[in-house]
Structure 1
Amino acid sequence: MAKSSKRERQYEHVKQSEKQRGGRSARRAEEIAARTVNKQKAQSGETRGASASAGRSGGQRARSGGAERTKEQLYDEAKRRDVKGRSSMSKAELKDALGR
């Protein structure tokens, strides 16, 4: 696990979030939390030999602003915009509600 208390808190927070939000198993939630913390450490230069490309990893879908967004990404934006009825909307309905 992470050495700094900040990273330990981040690890526990991500792990709990993944268990609750994603309904993931404890093992999968731990894996996601560890990867998240490791990526953050690499991006901030906390690791020895941190890869220069660490900040660019994650693929195109993660930052895509267009039609290729996942339903989860659309839902998160709808939540930020306080779109009513978002929990029962399909991906297409979320796109329409967000004007995309």
Structure 2
Amino acid sequence: MSQGDKSSYTDKQKRQAQHIEESEKKEGKSQDTAERIAWATVNKQDGGGKKS
């Protein structure tokens, strides 16, 4: 993973980010861009890394 500590994210959030990243790579995005989009999307949906 690129920047930041991802340990505060739930397993569900990590899975979501992985699926988004794979989808973005299929669309032709680079690894870094796909990863950035994936985590930005998870952050926007859930407000960042949280554990309930």
TM-score by length of 2: 0.73
RMSD: 1.7
Which residues of structure 1 form unaligned runs of 5+? Answer: 48-100
Percentage identity across paired residues of the two chains = 42
Q: Look up the equivalent residue of 1:27 and give its one-letter code.
A: D
The higher relative CO (CA closer than 8 Å, separation ≥ 6) is in 2
Q: 1:6 maps to what in 2?
A: 12
The Cα shift of 1:40 comes to 0.8
Structure 1 segments of 4+ aligned residues over 4 angstroms from their partners? none
TM-score by length of 1: 0.39
Question: Using the alignment, how far apart are the partners of 2:9 and 2:32 within structure 1?
Answer: 20
Aligned length: 43
Q: 1:26 maps to what in 2?
A: 31
